[in-house]
Homo-oligomer: A and B are copies of this chain.
């Protein structure tokens, strides 16, 4: 029997570590309990009327699912949905619509699709359109290439589990061009969105080491996909704080503090870095990335680089540096480290969230480990072909001289320039509000301002059993229809309050939103002064 067989992940860790939550965050377990107490009464009544006892109840289902939290779609967003339904039914509110600034959902906020992407999708969906003179030749050429890459020439066929070969090759060419460094297309694994890709890599790390729980270092604040997935996998969340005073950069001191505390209860296996930052909007400097890589090497951590916002850089003094490029240029031994970098069709200038396209580039993974990684994704057969097709256009856009080039560049530039303006508008407005401070939004699509709350507001929140920032966000929602996500959903320094808002509402709507926000805040301060 191999030693790995003895180390089944069903090993019992110390109970103190099993459901460790972030410092300063409301315990996910207690949230589970409050849901239970709310719904429990209703169930007991139903049971009393029926002779049948349900086979599934909160005590015999997956405990990891119970502790999972996903704030971006949490209680506040559920309430926002209810308010939308109330408005539809004609309810009188101090506002006419809910503004969902809670989620990076570009098209939902009025961003228009890139024409060329949609033309290619229409062509591959309904190839009869290849005879339609209204479609440009370069879109047709892309479509033909994609259809040739599909079995039976149809998007309705399963693809290889890591994706259509020609698209993987185009992705590799895109990365080569971006970094000036060779990229092997067989390291590209396409999935149904970056989230899918990230979970498939994280899953590989579920393995106790010397009977200790595996851990993954994640930023605080973080994107809740990470905390939710680690909870599902019962891996330890090892939070490291981003330094708000340094544009949300990373400091080696904090990484050292975090890892040395974590080693008491788990074995850190990987470090997640989100760059450009979500929810924080920072763009890491090359020097900072080098420090992180050195730290990861010393601690034998696999690097998981969430680089889905690589197109979204607004600050003229910032530049996107991929972890792969920096690591490669550092030379031995760093250029041999295992790295997975994630990219998505949902963000950038395209914002095609609903199409579910994303990829991982997995570098320096040993052949036998990679075989296991690839085997694990085969049971889900393949990711959506049309999501893959969208990715293809993103990495293989119209070239100069092709008929769609001008329009493509125009549309792309307009989106990115407008986001740049909005990034500044959002940060400037928050910085003008009493008790607020907001780092510049150097990249990505979010601001994560800090704000002070009057003592009376904190008391009122406690009386309601809510985190103070959630209390604030609920009042904001009910008064203005603006839906943001409280900082507690992402993690924050104890005693500080933040929220995440997207910069996605179109300019006029954003102006109104920020105006209403300012008024609300002034009123809130007055109410609780």
Asked if A91 CB lies within 8 Å of chain B CBs, one says no
Whether A157 pairs with B354 at a CB distance below 8 angstroms is yes
Q: Which residues of B have CB within 8 Å of A109?
A: 152
Q: Which of A379-397 contact B (CB under 8 A)?
A: 379-387
Whether B126 pairs with A157 at a CB distance below 8 angstroms is no
Asked if A62 CB lies within 8 Å of chain B CBs, one says yes
- Contact with A193, one of B55, B119, B152, B380 (Cβ below 8 angstroms): B380
Within the complex, the shortest CB–CB distance from A232 to chain B, in Å, comes to 7
Whether B6 pairs with A68 at a CB distance below 8 angstroms is no
Asked if A224 CB lies within 8 Å of chain B CBs, one says yes
- Contact with A62, one of B129, B204, B300 (Cβ below 8 angstroms): B204
Within the complex, the shortest CB–CB distance from A103 to chain B, in Å, comes to 7
Q: Which residues of B have CB within 8 Å of A203?
A: 62, 65, 232
Docked pose: A100 CA to B375 CA in angstroms: 19
Whether B354 pairs with A384 at a CB distance below 8 angstroms is yes
Docked pose: A355 CA to B380 CA in angstroms: 13
Docked pose: A190 CA to B211 CA in angstroms: 38
Asked if A453 CB lies within 8 Å of chain B CBs, one says no
Q: Which residues of B have CB within 8 Å of A338?
A: 54-56
Closest residue on chain B to residue A67 by CB atoms: B5
Asked if A217 CB lies within 8 Å of chain B CBs, one says no
Asked if A7 CB lies within 8 Å of chain B CBs, one says yes
Within the complex, the shortest CB–CB distance from A270 to chain B, in Å, comes to 9
Q: Which residues of B have CB within 8 Å of A2?
A: 29, 33, 59
Asked if A287 CB lies within 8 Å of chain B CBs, one says no
Docked pose: A13 CA to B54 CA in angstroms: 26
Q: Which of A1-54 contact B (CB under 8 A)?
A: 2-13, 15, 18-19, 29, 32-33, 35-36, 39-40, 42-43, 46, 50-52, 54
Docked pose: A12 CA to B106 CA in angstroms: 45
Whether A380 pairs with B196 at a CB distance below 8 angstroms is yes
Asked if A365 CB lies within 8 Å of chain B CBs, one says yes
Docked pose: A197 CA to B292 CA in angstroms: 38
Whether A158 pairs with B18 at a CB distance below 8 angstroms is no
Binary interface encoding of chain A residues 220-236 relative to chain B, with 1 for a CB under 8 A from any of its CBs, else 0: 00001100110010100
Q: Which residues of B have CB within 8 Å of A385?
A: 354-356
Asked if A257 CB lies within 8 Å of chain B CBs, one says no
Question: Known: A61-B205, A225-B379. Is A54-B355 also a contact (CB below 8 A)?
Answer: no
Question: Which of A228, A232, A353 has its CB near the most chain B CB atoms (within 10 A)?
Answer: A353
Q: Which residues of B have CB within 8 Å of A229?
A: 379
Whether A156 pairs with B33 at a CB distance below 8 angstroms is no
Q: Which residues of B have CB within 8 Å of A154?
A: 107-108, 113, 354
Binary interface encoding of chain A residues 192-221 relative to chain B, with 1 for a CB under 8 A from any of its CBs, else 0: 110110010001111101000100000000
- Contact with A61, one of B50, B204, B350 (Cβ below 8 angstroms): B204
Q: Which residues of B have CB within 8 Å of A11?
A: 10, 12
Within the complex, the shortest CB–CB distance from A143 to chain B, in Å, comes to 11
Closest residue on chain B to residue A73 by CB atoms: B378
Whether A58 pairs with B368 at a CB distance below 8 angstroms is yes
Within the complex, the shortest CB–CB distance from A182 to chain B, in Å, comes to 17
Question: Known: A70-B378, A356-B383, A375-B68. Is A110-B152 also a contact (CB below 8 A)?
Answer: yes
Q: Which residues of B have CB within 8 Å of A361?
A: none
Q: Which residues of B have CB within 8 Å of A188?
A: none
The segment from A238-246, A329-337, A443-451, A476-484 found at the interface with B is A329-337
Binary interface encoding of chain A residues 331-374 relative to chain B, with 1 for a CB under 8 A from any of its CBs, else 0: 01100111000000000001111111000000011111101110
Q: Which of A428-450 contact B (CB under 8 A)?
A: none
Q: Which residues of B have CB within 8 Å of A234?
A: 8-10
Q: Which residues of B have CB within 8 Å of A381?
A: 73, 193, 195, 353
Docked pose: A382 CA to B384 CA in angstroms: 13
Asked if A516 CB lies within 8 Å of chain B CBs, one says no
Whether B126 pairs with A39 at a CB distance below 8 angstroms is no
- Beyond A65-B376, A106-B157, list 9 extra A-B contacts (CB 8 Å): A3-B59, A4-B60, A10-B10, A61-B204, A61-B369, A107-B152, A108-B157, A111-B152, A386-B386
5 contacts between A and B (CB under 8 A): A4-B66, A5-B63, A54-B366, A70-B378, A109-B152
8 closest residue pairs by CB, A with B: A108-B151, A354-B385, A107-B154, A122-B126, A228-B379, A107-B156, A52-B336, A121-B125
